[in-house]
Amino acid sequence: MIGFYMFIAALILLLVGFPVAFAFGTAAVVVAFFSPDIGLEVFNLLPFRIYGIMQNFTLIAVPLFIFMGLVLEKSKIAEELLVSVGELFGNIRGGLAVSTVLVGAVLAASTGIVGASVVMMSVISLPIMIKYGYSKQLSTGTIAASGTLGQIIPPSIVLIIIGDVMSVSVGDLFRAAIGPSLVLVGFYVLYILVISFLNPKIAPAIKDNSKKRSEVVKKAIISIIPPLLLIVAVLGSIFFGIASPTESAAIGALGAVILTLITKTFSFETLKYASLETVKLTGMIFMILIGATAFSLVFNEAGAGDLILEFFEEDIANQWIFITVAMITIFLLGFFVDFLEISFIVIPILVPIVNSFGIDPIWFAILVAMNLQASFLTPPFGFALFYLKGAAGDIVSTSDIYKGVLPFIALQILALFTLIFYPNLINLF
């Protein structure tokens, strides 16, 4: 029961506004202090764990990919892409929403930062969609869902963290994630086209004859070349065995700076902004990791991990029941806590059970990643919802955003079931 009490204590601290990293660390310290069988001596091992984290080569990719995304965010390359692709598809029903999904996928593959993508599309796409009569629910849902594609489309920070926690190749995870992520993007586009066909009023076509079609196509092609080059450089270097994920992250960071020089958007102000924000975000992630490490120390010392393993191995003895319970637990936790806490706290508990049942760890990791993506959309604490509302201001209400994301959460669940029943989707590339 000690493990259960720890989770409850951590959730209570989170709900009252305690910082995430300190919530899990505090829960661990309090439980250890009041448990005679554990005691505070368990934390003698903590410095060795932290030193091991500092030496982790894979995790170096996290700040590098964050830096790459922030440089692209400030360089206006993403804005040009969003505007030009919107003009390309705007003349069909739901075209602006479709363009938002496609640009969201490209941004995910070139930046991977959810907050930046959601805010950018909220500022640029949302006013345009509202102006041309798009439903507020469809507009907000599309932007929030498209902005979170960075959680599953490589190079994804979520996949890097899951790969490290589960001790599997991050490069293999990147390759395995492409098929399921394309399926999810396809579901989004198909849903928008179908609902726009059934109800033209919620996503009308835009008739704009002021520009020639050839000019619009040319502008879209030119705008997509810079991020496409970066995607090829980063993912291509991994898939062809030229570089490890960490080395490719360095290539991406340098490539993003070079692109700003080529497009004449480089400035030392951008470099300063990207560097400072990278330090802040990386510091936050590693503080959470240290708090999670303290939590897992006490959790395992209490024998809770062994008890869970024994329960599924001997009492349940069915891998599909385990997968069902694991996916439901992660989905429900996503309503209240961030993907980082789930990755650092819950997944290490599940890894021994995955190995015990002989489940493909790559396939299970992609299932978890797709499930974690929903945590950014699920009310009331979905981060994408906060980013969207903060950027949109009074243009849309919170209820519009909540209603808008519900169909896309359903589509994510559908994509999750598709991957469960068709596991070979991870072998498409």
Dump pLDDT digits (tens) for 308-340. 777 776 667 788 888 998 898 888 887 777 777
User: Is the residue at 2 inside a domain?
Assistant: no
| Tens digits of residue pLDDT in 73-88 | 777 777 777 778 877 7
pLDDT tens digits, residue range 5-23?
777 787 788 777 777 778 8
What number is the average pLDDT over the span 211-226? Answer: 78
Report yes or no: 369 and 162 within 8 Å, Cβ to Cβ: yes
Question: What are the tokens at 230?
Answer: 């970066």
pTM for the model stands at: 0.84
The parent domain of residue 322 ranges over 58-294+303-427
Give me 386's structure tokens.
Answer: 């906060």
Q: Is 226 within a domain? A: yes
DSSP reduced 3-state for 428: coil
Q: Is 180 a residue whose pLDDT tops 90?
A: yes
Q: Does 175 map to a domain?
A: yes
**26 part of a folded domain:** no
Distance CA 108, CA 105 (A): 5
Winning range, highest mean pLDDT, from 2-6, 62-66, 355-359 = 355-359
DSSP per-residue string spanning 189-231:
HHHHHHHHHH-GGGS------SS-HHHHHHHHHHHHHHHHHHH
pLDDT band at 193 (very low <50, low <70, confident <90, very high): very high
Mean pLDDT of 233-257: 85
Q: What is the residue whose two structure tokens read 């385990």?
A: 322
381 vs 48, more confident = 48
- Ranked by mean pLDDT, the top range of 199-213, 219-233, 343-357 is 343-357
pLDDT band with cut points at 50, 70 and 90 for residue 201: confident
105-126 tens-digit pLDDT: 887 777 666 666 777 777 777 8
pLDDT band at 208 (very low <50, low <70, confident <90, very high): low
Residue 31 lies in a domain: no
Q: Per-residue pLDDT for 209 more than 70?
A: no
Helix H, strand E, coil C: the string for 59-109 is HHHHHHHHHHHHHHHHCCHHHHHHHHHHHHHCCCCCHHHHHHHHHHHHHHH
| CA neighbor of 415 nearest in space, from 354, 387, 373, 378 | 373
Task: Determine, yes or no, domain membership for 198.
Answer: yes
Residue 239 banded pLDDT, cuts 50, 70, 90: confident
Containing 131, the helix (H) or strand (E) segment is helix 114-131
Whether residue 20 lies inside any domain: the answer is no
Mean pLDDT of the residues in the chain: 82
For residue 7, tell me if it sits in a domain.
no
Q: Which pLDDT belongs to residue 417?
A: 93
User: CA–CA separation, 152 vs 116, rounded Å?
Assistant: 16
pLDDT reported for residue 150: 80
Omega prior to 380 cis, within 30 of 0: yes
Query: How many distinct structural domains can be found in the chain?
Result: 1
Letter for the amino acid at 120? M
Is the Cα dihedral 400, 338, 153, 275 positive or negative? positive
